Amino acid sequence: MIRWLLIVCAVVVSFGCGGGVSVSDCTPGEQAPCSCLRGGEGFQDCAEDGRSFSRCDCGGGTGGVGTGGAGAGGSGTGGSGATASGPQLSSSSLDVLLVIDNSASMADKHEILSLAVPDFVTRLLQPAGAFTPLTDIHIGIVTSSLGGHGADSCGPAGAVFNSTQNDAGRLVARADVGGTPVPTYQDLGFLAWDPDQALAPPGEADRTRLVSDFAQMVRGTGENGCGFEAPLEAMYRFLIQPDPYERIDRVPCFDGDTSNGCAARAGTDSVILQQRADFLRPDSALLVVLLGDENDCSVIDDGQFFIALQQTQASGQLFHMPRATDVCATNPDDPCCHSCGQASPSGCGPASAWPSCNVTGGFYDDAGRDDQINLRCFDQKRRFGIDFLYPVDRYVTGLLHTNVPDRAGALVPNPIYSDLSATGTAVRNSSIVFLAGMLGLPWQLIDDESQSGPPGAPLVFKTAEALASEGLWDAIVGACRGTEQDGRCDVLRSRPTEPLMIESVAERVGIPVGPTGAAIAPSSAPSAQSNPANGHEWNVPARDDLQYACIFPLAVPRPQGADCISDPTAKLKPLCQDPNTGAYGDTQFFAKAFPTTRQLEVLKGFGGNSVVTSICARNVTDQTAPDFGYRPAVNAIVDTLTRGLE
C-alpha cells in the first residue's frame, strides 16, 4: 500500500490526496471575457475555489452558464461562458452520428436497429408534410470501444484482444468484425445522401443502396468490442475534443519513478480531425444517437484513473482496487470518503484508522468477490472512494457551449459550432443540435399512454419536456440533493425512485412500486414475465453482474444462448426461463438491458432537444406493426427533428 500511496499522492493533478479529482480550472478572482446570448461581450469571475467561472455578466442580459475548462490532467468539466445560441433555427442538411455499443450482448439490438433503418430513411426522405424531403444527409458511426485508457484490459497487453476493442473514436464502416469495409463517400468513412447529385464529386442517389449500406454498417459494428463501454467519451472525442489524443502512453508519476505508473495522452489524432472536418458541415442540423444496453464507463484518460480497468499486476496475479474508507458506504459525499490508498484529508485521521483500510491490507481480494473486474465502473465512489469517470457535464456543455477546453485547459472554439473547413458558411447554433438515446430503461416508464395503444398499435414515448414537467427524471436518474448545472449534480444523486433503474448486484427486494406500475419480482418468481418490464430479479452468486432494467423477447429463441449456456448462475435468469413452461435451461428467450443512468443524465441536462427511448422493444415479431422494434424510437427522433429541419 505504501507504493500506491506514494504514486497517487505524487500525481496531484489527477488524484487529490484528499480524494476525488483535483484540478485548477482558473485563478480565484480572475476575470475572463464571455459571449452574451443576446449579442455583445460580458465577463465572468473565477470562483474562490478555483473550480469554475460564474455566470456571464451581461449587464442584466441572459448570459450563458460558465463552468470553466479542464485542468491539464483533470476531469474536464468542459464549458464556456455561453451556450451556442443565435438566429439559425433550421437547416436543409443533416449530419447523423450513431454511437453504438459494440460489446457482448449487442448483436440482437444491432439487428433490430438495422431493421429500423428503412423506417428512418423513409421518414427523412418522404416526410408527411413536416419538412421538405432531405437531399443532403451525412451518416456516420462510431462505437463505444476506446480501449483500456492505459490499463491492460481492452488492449494488446490483455489476455484477449481484438482491434474492435479500441475503435479510437474514429468512424467505422465495416460490414463484419473482420473489417470488410462498406463503401463510403469518397472512402471518407460516412455515407452521403445526394439524390440531386449536387456534391462534388456526387454522393449516393440510390435509396436502396443507402439503406443497405447503412444497415450493413450497423450490423458490422459487432459485439466483440471493449466491455468497458465509453459511448459518451467516444461521442466527445469524435465531435468535440479540439485536440483528440493519438495514443495513451504510460509515464512516470513523479521524478525518479521507474514504474511508469501513470497514463498520459500523447500526440494528436489527425485522422479524427480530418474525419470530423469532412463529416460535420458548419450549418447542418446535427443528430447524435446513442444506442447501448449498459451504463457509460468513460474513464478519465490521465494520471492513474486507468487503474479502475486494470486486470493484472506485474506478477501476473489479479489486480484489486484499494478499498474505500468506511464512511463512503453511508455518505460518499463526506470529505473523509476517500480511497484507502490515499492520504487522508485534514481532520479525518490517518487512513489506517479506518477499519476497512485494515482489511486485507486495504485492498479488495478474491475471497470477498467485491471487486469483480466486470463491475469496476459501478458505484465507484461508495466502493473505491474515487469517481474515475469524466463528469457528465463535460458532455452536456460540449454539446451546447461555444467554447470547450483543449488538453492544456485553454478554452477554444467548440468544433460543433465552428466552420472546420473554412467555407465561410454561417455556423449552426444549439437549436438544431439533437441528442437521442435508445437506452437501458423500461419503455413502460416513458410510455405516453394518452397516445399509445396496446401491443400491435402505436407506441409513443414522452417528450423531454414531458419527462421534466411530470417529474419523471427523478425516477429515471435520481434527484440532485445539491446544486445541478449542465446535468451535473455537485453531490451524489439520490437513487432513482423507479426501482428498476437502480444499479444493484443484490436482488432489489422490498422496494416500493415505481412508475412502471409493477412491483419488483424476486428470483423465485414462476414466470419470466412476472414483472412486465424486467421479468424478475436473478441470483448473482459470483457478484459479477447487475440486475436488469428491462428485458424483451428475442424474435427467435437462441439455443445455447450466450447468457444461458453452461452457466450455473443462469438458472434463475429470466433470460433463460421458458415463457410457456417457466423452466430454466440453456436456451435464451429474452434480451436484456441494464440501467444506463449516465447517458440519461446527459439527456436530462441537454434539455428539450433530447429524445429518450428504450432499447427494450415492445414488439419484435410483427414487422408490419407500428410498434415493431425500434420504429417507435425512430418516430420519436424524427418528430423532434422537425423543429430544426426546413
Per the CB < 8 A criterion, the answer to whether 598 and 389 are in contact is yes
Which grid cell sits at 54?
A: 460564474
Phi, psi of 121 (to 5 degrees): -65, -40
Using the CB atoms, write b or e for 168-194: b if 16+ within 10 Å: bbbbbbbeebeeeebebbeebbbbbbb
- pLDDT recorded at residue 2: 30
What is residue 214's DSSP assignment? H
Per the CB < 8 A criterion, the answer to whether 267 and 280 are in contact is no
The DSSP-derived string for 457-474 is S---BPPHHHHHHTTHHH
Which grid cell sits at 643?
A: 423543429
pLDDT digits (tens, 9 = 90+) for 278-305: 999 999 999 999 999 999 999 999 999 9
Confidence class for position 63, pLDDT limits 50, 70, 90: very low
Q: How far apart are CA 177 and CA 175, in angstroms?
A: 7
> What Å distances lie between residue 3 and 150, 314, 363, CA to CA?
19, 14, 13
Secondary structure of residue 263 in the 3-state scheme: strand
What mean pLDDT is predicted for residues 561-579?
Answer: 87
- pLDDT recorded at residue 43: 56
Greatest pairwise CA separation for the chain in angstroms: 73
Query: Average pLDDT over the chain, rounded to whole?
Result: 87
The pTM (predicted TM-score) of the whole model is 0.88
- pLDDT recorded at residue 259: 84
Q: How far apart are CA 173 and CA 107, in angstroms?
A: 16
Count CA atoms closer than 13 A to 3's CA, side-chain side.
7
pLDDT digits (tens, 9 = 90+) for 220-240: 999 999 999 999 999 999 999
- pLDDT recorded at residue 566: 76
**Residue 361: how many other CB atoms lie within 10 Å:** 13
Mean pLDDT lowest among 403-407, 412-416, 518-522: 518-522
Cα–Cα nearest to 597, from 609, 607, 612: 612
Confidence class for position 437, pLDDT limits 50, 70, 90: very high
